[in-house]
Structure formats: structure tokens, C-alpha cells
Structure 1
Amino acid sequence: MKEPIRKITHKDGSTRYRLVVDIGVDAKGKRKQLTRTLKTKKEAVDELSRIRHELSIGSFVVPTKMTLNDLLDIWLKSATRDVEEGTASNYESAMVPVRAHSGDKELQSLTEEDIESLVDWMLTSGRRRGGQPGTGLGVRSVRLSLGRLRAAMNLGVRRGLMVRNVAQHVTISRDAKNKAAANKAANRPWDESEVKTFLESIKAHRLHAAMMLALIAERPAEVCGTRWAEDVDLDGAGTIAIQNTRTIVYDRRQEKGSRNKVVEKDTKTDAGKRTLPLPAPAHKALKGFRAIQAKEKLTAGTAYTDSGYVLVDELGNPFKTDKLRREAYKLMKAAGVRKVRLYDARHATLSWMANNGVPDTVVSAWAGHSDLSFTKRVYVHPDPQSLKAGSEKLGDLLG
């Protein structure tokens, strides 16, 4: 058998040792070979032994100039084969800062230190949209990006493109986590008095009913997706069915300025599809809103779009979630209450229910969750009133 290592002498008299080793066959059955040139024969022999050993146990990775961007393209194609459009868009968005910082780097040259540097950069300078460009991304966004990167690199290892997943054990710094926890604590949901102040302030406003829907724990996409005929029963059972959503998906394939598009679909999970008995104030507000829309339709005539959605403007055009949020923030400002996300208004409702004796199973079902522990862990917050009630109960015990 021909010796796979041979000595090379250059014109200047220096020597190198070149090895040529079979590493398998390609898709057409043609033999593939790897050539390596090293300084000493010992290095060449050791390298040959390593390659043959890794080939024998199936762990050998063919050297390649593939970049991280190349791997992310492969992973996205695989990961989005059978997911909703919104999920696919989220995957792509999570990889935007990764591509910006490290996408052009050679995949097989990446180290854990490179991924740590990427994480630190995302936390300090990684924002590209949704705020001031060049500022830091939130810990949640960085955690999502890091998680997707780990998944992409796991695929790279499985397909023999990487020796190991260098993102596997990289974490977000404790300092960044502490800052995020402090910000989260500062962004607390409304308490009972704030909810009442807000509703009292907007009771004569056209969007009173829409805010009611958000405050009975509907998500913004669920509020925007609610339809009169299919989902709302005001004259019979007095219920509202949550079974359709209208959300915004960011599509980078479109031209700038036209990348936000509306996607309509079922609820995210089977548990999310639910029918809720309308509280009396919400029932009354929806009846009033239906009457307002009937008058608007008569006034607008042929200019009116009879879209069938509950949340529409004066000409019948359905709201997008971003418009719902903007209008909600205007109403909060006018009411003089703290500005909170609509999701935090949802938290306020679920917390109030849980803290006022509604069974956990009912709270979870109302929220549209299949995991009771998730509802309690994420959505239920002790408020001053519930803590005071706890103090009074302890008084009975200690007195």
C-alpha cells in the first residue's frame, strides 16, 4: 500500500510533509480525499492517525470554508419546513443580530469565546429595529437568539459540518440577568385601582369595548381577530369565542416599507381556542359598540367596508395589532394611568382573578393556557390588595 505521507522539499531547502487520505465518497460515489501539509513527519503521522480514528468512529468533520451565514441558511430551511409563517419570521428575526456580528466568520473557526463576544455585543449594541439602532437588545431577545443559534449548531454537528457546538454552554451574564429582572419588576401590571380609573376615563370613548376585550384577558391578536357573526353572541348565551387571530408578520422578502403584513390564523394552541362568558360590563360595552358601528355604516354609505370584524375604524376597516396598541397608549395617557403593555393589562386581569378566589384551573382556562403552572408562574402577580388580605388572615392566626 502506497505511503500516504511524502516529503516535500522547497527551493529554499525547507521541508514539509504532505499527507493524502481517503475520507469517503461523494453523492455520485466518487472517492473524496483530504490533503494536509505539515511541518514535521511526526505532525503528519499524528494527523493521519487522528483522521483515520475519527473516520472509524464516525466523528470526522471535513474541513470547509463554510461561514456561519451558510449554516444559518441551512438551518432556517430545515427548521421552517412545517411551521407557521409568523414562527418562521421569528426564527429569521432572531438570527439578524447573529448574522450582523458573526455571519461572515468561518464556521469551523468559531470558538466559545466568539459566541460569548456575540452575546455581549447583542446586550450592548445589537439592536437594529424596534428602538434606537445600536442600543442593546433585551435579555429575552438575546436568550431567544442564543437558543436558535444553539439549535442551528446542533444541526451543524449532526450533519458533520462542525466538530462540536461551541454555543452549547455559553450563557448570559448574571449582571445582564439582574438588570433585566429589575426592569421587569418596574414594569408591573396595573393594580385594581388603576384598572378602574382607566375604564372610568374611557367609558364614553368609541374604543371602550375594545379595551374591555383586552381587559378580559384577550391577547392583542385575539382582539383584532374577533368577528361579530362567528365569535360574538350578545343576544343568546352572552359569550365570546376566541378562535381567530390577526397578527403582524415581518417579511424581509418584501420591499422596505411593505414588510409588515397581516396574517390571519387559528389560535396558537388548542387551549387558546376557548369560549368565554362575557362579564356584564363587557357585554354592555359590546352592544354599545355594535350600535355605534351600525350608525357609522349608515353615515359612510358605499365608503364603508363591511369587514365583519369587531374592532374596526369608522369606515369598517379592521385594526392591526400595532394600531390597537397605539390607540391604547393614547387612552392611557389621557386617563392619567401608567403606560403598560396590553399584555400587562391581561396580566392584571388574571392576577385579580387568581387573587380573589377564582380557582387556578379556571384562571388558566380563561387565559387560554394548557399549563396551569405556566399561568401561575408568569401571569399571576400578588398585588397590594391581595397582600393586605393575606395580612388580615395572618392576623386571625396570630391574634
Structure 2
Amino acid sequence: MADVGIDPVTKKRKQLTRTFDTLKEAKAEYARITNRRHEGTFIPLNKITVNEWLDRWLAMKAEDLEETTIYNYRITLDRVRGKLGHIRLQELTEEDVEAWMHWSLQYGRVRGKRAGTPLGVTSVDMSLARLKEALNRAVTRRLVSLNVAAHVSIPRRARKEERKTKQEVKPWNVQEVRTFVHGVKEERIYAPLLLSLMGLRPAEVCGLRWEDVDLENATITIANTRTMMGNRYVVEKDTKSMAGERDLPLPAPVLAALKAFKALQAKEQTALGEAYMLSGYILVHETGEPFTIKQLRRFVYRLMATLGLRRVRLSDARAACLTYLANKGVPDHILARWAGHSNVKTTKRWYIKPDVEDLREAATTWHGLHEDPTQACEKS
């Protein structure tokens, strides 16, 4: 029997009892445990499974993260639980994590509770990242001695293979944006559609209220969002980050559209009387009931199909706006502020996506390298 420290819950002294075949083995183990306890590196045995620890870890994270973020964490970690959840945390090995990763890349996509098709590299990567984060916390809590997933990563070959087969959806180019804007001018929600093309997130468009709009000074305040969990439950909350809360000036066409939309809603309210829902949101149906983000997406996709435009996500429309602003020389710090990012690196990495036509000016500039050196001297 060896003293292994104080139980953090009961505050009582904890003792570990082990049996060995020989006295020599028992003394050696006693010395090892005692030495590690004095060094602060001893990890007491426990029967916690991976699933049990993930539940505890998510409960801790819920104190710091938004409800929608925790929901996404749960969905992401559900991909791990089926293969690894039953294993005791202290018995989980790097080989277990690697086996799960390779299985997921081949069969991890579940349909009707049955696996069979490959799960995307990005999805597996996200699940692996959350697992690593949870295991890091387990190390800190001294439930395990090391993070067995720390050095597990998606093989480069798998990433290359997916890039070959997965077609990347490019944001709209300038001509496509103009076609959309011209094609939806007569739509009732023309003003909110322009807000999307200004670069607002879909949840920001759905969460924008008339109290957030200053028509006299042509500004809007982004401070509220309306999103959904699993396309089922509407969640209203503040912005995605502190940087997401921002004031933006309204371009003249958007200001005019908002004024017209407000006047239209006043007429709709008069027509319906007490049946009209006074929600306060900008993006509402004729009855005053606010759009959900799911309804907005479906409506926009129908418009894209009607106009014969490529179907892109609303976030890709946001990228089209930010790419256009970047190409027109808008400074980085202004661009990040407009997008609602604290770091322009985020804006550039995920939202600035120049196409071949955007690069045309660079090709023209390159032409200077092709000039005859004697002619270049004469010009100078």
C-alpha cells in the first residue's frame, strides 16, 4: 500500500493497493510511486472512459463558449465517440486514435446510423483538433500522463487526394454579383439581400433590427445575430466575437433600399392591423414574422436558380464583397473592421479569393519585364 496524495473532492488521503509476486517487485513499484508523487508526476489509476471525460470536458467548456459553439463541439466529437468512447482514458493509445482517423477517412460518414462513405478531411481534422484539446485538459487534470493524440495528423496524401476530387466552390465574380443585384431589384427583401452583398454574415442580416439602423446618418450597428442549431432551433445572441460588434456606413443604394423597405413594412402593418407581428427585425415576412437563417438561405438559392447563377453559399457572397474591396485597394485594417475580424489574417485567409480576372492587372504589370532593355532606357 502506497500513499498517493490527497483526493481533491473528499480532501482525504488516497492510498493505492497493488499486489506482486515477489517482495522485490513490490519494493520497486513502491519506490517508483513514491518518487513520482514527490516529483508531482504521479497519475493515479482511474476508470474514466473517453466518453465520460468528453462529457466532463464539454461541461467545463460550456461555461466559456456560446450555446451554438458547444452544439458544434458535440457534433464534432460524436464522430469520435463511436470508435473510441468506450475505451478507458488511461488505456487510449496513439494507435487507437490513428486507427479511428484512417477509418473515418474511409467510412466515417454516417447515414441512417450506418457508416459507409468517407468523411471529409476537414471534418476529420476538426474532430481530431477537439479530441486533442480535450486530452490536453485531461493531462492538466492529471488524469493521463500525456496526450496520445498530440502527434496524430491527417496524412498529406489524403489531403492531396481530396483536393483532386473535391471541387472548390468559388465565390461570385463581379459580373455575377451585378447580375444578382440587377435581377432581385423587384424582390420584396431587396434591402436585406443587399446587406448580404455588403459582406454581413447571414446571422447578422437575420439579427439586424430597425433600432440598429440610423437612416439619418446612413449607418448600421452590428450587435445582434439570429442563427440556428442543427437547422431546428433559432438562437438569438450577440455577435460571433468582440470584433464582430461594429458600426458600418451604408452605401447609397443600400440606404435607399432600406428606406423603401421600412415604408413597405409600415403599409403591411396597416393592412394586417393587430395580426401583424411587431418583432422589430428588418428581415421579416409580410406578417412581420422574422426570417430564420434557413429560410433566408432557401430563398436566396431559389433566386440563384431563377437567375441562372451558380449556387454559392451566402458566406461565399460575403467573400465576393471582401475580395472586391481588397482588389480596390481598401486598407487591411479597414477590411478587417468591415468583415468583423480582429485580425486581417483571418480575412485574407478565408475571404479574399481573387479569380483569374482579378489577376489580369498583374499580368499587364508583368509585361514591363518583357520590354526591350534599350527601349526601357529610352523611356526613362
TM-score normalised over the length of structure 1:
0.84
Match of 1:206 in 2: 188
Match of 1:245 in 2: 225
| Aligned counterpart for 1:81 among listed residues 53, 63, 77 | 63
The alpha carbon displacement at 1:223 in A equals 0.2
Match of 2:357 in 1: 385
Once residues 103 and 255 of structure 2 are traced to their aligned partners in structure 1, the CA distance between those partners, rounded to angstroms, is 49
Match of 1:395 in 2: 367
Cα distance change on mapping 1:52 and 1:170 into 2, 3 Å: same
| Aligned counterpart for 1:232 among listed residues 213, 216, 227 | 213
Once residues 129 and 351 of structure 1 are traced to their aligned partners in structure 2, the CA distance between those partners, rounded to angstroms, is 37
Once residues 315 and 160 of structure 1 are traced to their aligned partners in structure 2, the CA distance between those partners, rounded to angstroms, is 57
SS in 2 for 1:381: coil
Correspondence list, 1:348-363, <5 A: 348-363=320-335
Q: Does structure 2 retain, via aligned residues, the 8 Å contact 1:115–1:170? A: yes
The alpha carbon displacement at 1:300 in A equals 2.5
Correspondence list, 1:184-199, <5 A: 186-199=168-181
Cα distance change on mapping 1:344 and 1:29 into 2, 3 Å: closer
Match of 2:312 in 1: 340
Letter aligned with residue 225 of structure 2: T
Match of 2:269 in 1: 297
Greater mean alpha carbon deviation, residues 30-39 or residues 165-174: 30-39
Greater mean alpha carbon deviation, residues 162-171 or residues 289-298: 289-298
Match of 2:73 in 1: 91
Cα distance change on mapping 1:134 and 1:203 into 2, 3 Å: farther
Q: Does structure 2 retain, via aligned residues, the 8 Å contact 1:61–1:163? A: yes
The alpha carbon displacement at 1:28 in A equals 4.4
Match of 2:374 in 1: none
Cα distance change on mapping 1:340 and 1:103 into 2, 3 Å: same
Structure 1 portions without partners, runs of 5+: 1-19, 251-258
Letter aligned with residue 66 of structure 1: I
Letter aligned with residue 277 of structure 1: P
Match of 1:63 in 2: 45
Match of 1:166 in 2: 148
Letter aligned with residue 348 of structure 2: K
Cα distance change on mapping 1:303 and 1:130 into 2, 3 Å: farther
Q: Does structure 2 retain, via aligned residues, the 8 Å contact 1:356–1:386? A: no
Match of 1:368 in 2: 340
Once residues 131 and 279 of structure 1 are traced to their aligned partners in structure 2, the CA distance between those partners, rounded to angstroms, is 49
Cα distance change on mapping 1:185 and 1:107 into 2, 3 Å: same
Q: Does structure 2 retain, via aligned residues, the 8 Å contact 1:239–1:276? A: yes
Greater mean alpha carbon deviation, residues 116-125 or residues 53-62: 116-125
Once residues 28 and 319 of structure 2 are traced to their aligned partners in structure 1, the CA distance between those partners, rounded to angstroms, is 62
Structure 2 portions without partners, runs of 5+: 372-380
The alpha carbon displacement at 1:353 in A equals 1.0
| Aligned counterpart for 1:270 among listed residues 242, 246, 250 | 242
Number of matched residues?
370
Greater mean alpha carbon deviation, residues 111-120 or residues 274-283: 274-283
Cα distance change on mapping 1:30 and 1:227 into 2, 3 Å: closer
Cα distance change on mapping 1:300 and 1:120 into 2, 3 Å: farther
Cα distance change on mapping 1:216 and 1:43 into 2, 3 Å: same
Once residues 352 and 133 of structure 1 are traced to their aligned partners in structure 2, the CA distance between those partners, rounded to angstroms, is 42
Q: Does structure 2 retain, via aligned residues, the 8 Å contact 1:139–1:176? A: yes
Task: State the Cα deviation string for residues 258-296 of structure 1 (Å, max 9, x = none).
Answer: x93222222223322222222222223223322332332
SS in 2 for 1:386: coil
Once residues 177 and 154 of structure 2 are traced to their aligned partners in structure 1, the CA distance between those partners, rounded to angstroms, is 35
Backbone CA RMSD of aligned residues:
2.6
Match of 2:122 in 1: 140
The alpha carbon displacement at 1:52 in A equals 2.6
Correspondence list, 1:32-43, <5 A: 32-39=14-21, 43=25
Cα distance change on mapping 1:61 and 1:211 into 2, 3 Å: same
Greater mean alpha carbon deviation, residues 337-346 or residues 356-365: 356-365
Once residues 196 and 134 of structure 1 are traced to their aligned partners in structure 2, the CA distance between those partners, rounded to angstroms, is 42
Aligned-pair identity (%): 48
SS in 2 for 1:33: strand
Greater mean alpha carbon deviation, residues 130-139 or residues 349-358: 130-139
Once residues 88 and 129 of structure 1 are traced to their aligned partners in structure 2, the CA distance between those partners, rounded to angstroms, is 23
Once residues 218 and 132 of structure 1 are traced to their aligned partners in structure 2, the CA distance between those partners, rounded to angstroms, is 38
TM-score normalised over the length of structure 2:
0.88
Greater mean alpha carbon deviation, residues 92-101 or residues 320-329: 92-101
Task: State the Cα deviation string for residues 220-250 of structure 1 (Å, max 9, x = none).
Answer: 110001111x12233x122222121111235
Cα distance change on mapping 1:24 and 1:243 into 2, 3 Å: closer
Once residues 261 and 114 of structure 2 are traced to their aligned partners in structure 1, the CA distance between those partners, rounded to angstroms, is 38
